[in-house]
Amino acid sequence: MKCIVVCSDKGGTGKSCVAAYTGAALAATGKKTLLIELGGSAPALELILGVKDAVRGAADVLAGDCTAEEAIVKVEKFPNLFLMPCGNGNVDQDKEKLSALIKSLDKYDFVIVDGAVLSSFPIRLCKIFVIVTTPDTLSVQACARTARQLHKANAKDVRLVINNVPPRIIPINGAEDFDDVIDIVGAQLIGIIPSSPKLSFCSNNEQPLDPDSLTVKIFENLAARLMGQRRLLLIR
């Protein structure tokens, strides 16, 4: 089982969207993939994936009110994709409880965690950390802080996704292009996702993406790179 944490030190970067569609792309390759949502204040994965029948979730598992399997639902729109939503109440992100939960999920090929509090997360159990930023200055600086925190905690592999990239990027303070963003954040670039009204509409209205769209191909390549394959960084 390979655990991947999708994270950001700033709201609004689209990390839940990246987690959801990356999970769907991994599942489409035949890999049994589980998404876990720990950010209880604003659950998003259920909305993006169109899951309506979830009764329990991570909060209930970590509180000892149910087992992990009792809190996992199949995502009907995507074969091989499963979801453990937030559940009832705030998620108790206790490091020992999270460690026990992650270790119990070895039947899955990939476990993708969204909404983790990095200071409470068992860093050593995660194979890859994916930091999601947008091209704006505040987001890049916030993600640089996240990268420093992860490197200080001896994270194994830290990757970068630049999301919601407009056709023309307004120069960032201290950064003129993607190479500068990579240098500022200090992580290997694994994906660039152009801004897309269609992506925004689909993720907010439980609608599937066009399977022939550039966005789907970008997430397919992102998933392939997470599996160790060499793929192009598509932009347009």
User: For residue 236, is it within any domain?
Assistant: no
Tens of pLDDT along the chain (236 residues) come to 999 999 988 888 999 999 999 999 999 999 999 999 997 656 789 889 988 878 899 999 999 999 999 999 999 989 999 999 988 777 888 999 999 999 999 999 999 999 999 998 999 999 999 999 998 889 999 999 999 999 999 998 999 999 998 866 555 555 557 788 888 898 999 999 998 888 888 888 877 788 888 899 999 999 999 999 988 776 66
Q: What's the pLDDT at 236? A: 60
Which pLDDT does position 83 carry in this prediction? 97
**Dist. CA 100–CA 86, nearest whole Å:** 17
Let me know if 170 is exposed, middle or buried by CB neighbors in 10 A (0-12, 13-18, 19+).
exposed
Q: Considering the domain boundaries, does residue 234 fall inside one? A: no
Q: What is the pLDDT of residue 97?
A: 94
The 3-state secondary structure of 118-146, one letter per residue: HHHCCHHHCCEEEEEECCCHHHHHHHHHH
The pTM of this model reads 0.92
Question: Letter for the amino acid at 8?
Answer: S
Residue 204 lies in a domain: yes
State whether residue 45 is helix, strand or coil. helix
Would you say residue 16 lies in a domain? yes
Asked, for residue 168, whether it belongs to a domain, the answer is: yes
pLDDT at res. 198 = 86
Is 233 among the domain residues? no
Give the pLDDT confidence score for residue 136 in this predicted structure: 87
**pLDDT number for residue 196:** 85
Question: How many domains are there within the chain?
Answer: 1
Instruction: Find the domain containing 47 and state its range.
Output: 2-226
DSSP assignment of 184-226 equals HHTSEEEEEEE--HHHHHHHHHT-PPPTTSHHHHHHHHHHHHH
CATH number of the domain bearing residue 85 = 3.40.50.300
**Is 82 within the bounds of a domain?**
yes
Element (H, E) at 81: strand 81-84
231 lies in some domain: no
Rounded-to-integer distance, Cα 126 and Cα 111, Å: 9
* Cα–Cα–Cα angle for 173, 158, 99, rounded to 5 degrees: 130
